[in-house]
Amino acid sequence: MKEWTREQWEHYKNDNELSLFYLYTPMCGTCMVASKMMQVIEEMLLNPVGQANINYLENLAMEYEIESVPCLLIAKKGHVYKKIYAFQSVPFLLETIKKIDDQAVM
């Protein structure tokens, strides 16, 4: 997964049907497990998937009211539809992403 800046996230969020932004901190053990899940997700989807260390995106964390990490922002057509904090499993994440892709319409 590529590291995205705030500007790259905004570009992908606004210019794509569906995009995912994974937020983490480097010393978080749960984030390390979630990162492995996100690598699998990225391989299975055609949609843009990026990641960022939340320590460098304080304004984004406040704007999106990020409560903890790991956090996955799922956006469609410029709107964040879901924030996932509990990365239960790869099938759970894929199902959640598919539901948003199929149902959410702006």
The pLDDT score that the predictor gives to residue 103 is: 78
Which sequence spans correspond to the domains of the chain? 2-100
pLDDT mean over 3-20: 94
Give the number of other CB atoms < 10 A from CB of residue 5.
13
Q: How confident is the model at residue 24 (pLDDT cuts 50, 70, 90)?
A: very high
The pLDDT score that the predictor gives to residue 8 is: 96
**If you compute the radius of gyration of the chain from its CA atoms, what whole number of angstroms results?**
13
CATH class entry, domain 2-100: alpha beta
Tokens of 88: 């239960």
The pLDDT score that the predictor gives to residue 94 is: 97
Tokens of 103: 């149902």
The pLDDT score that the predictor gives to residue 105 is: 55
pLDDT digits (tens, 9 = 90+) for 27-84: 999 999 999 999 999 999 999 999 999 999 999 999 999 999 999 999 999 999 999 9
- Report yes or no: 54 and 61 within 8 Å, Cβ to Cβ: yes
The pLDDT score that the predictor gives to residue 83 is: 98
In this prediction the pTM is 0.93
Distances (CA, A) of 10 to 36, 75, 88: 24, 10, 26
The pLDDT score that the predictor gives to residue 106 is: 47
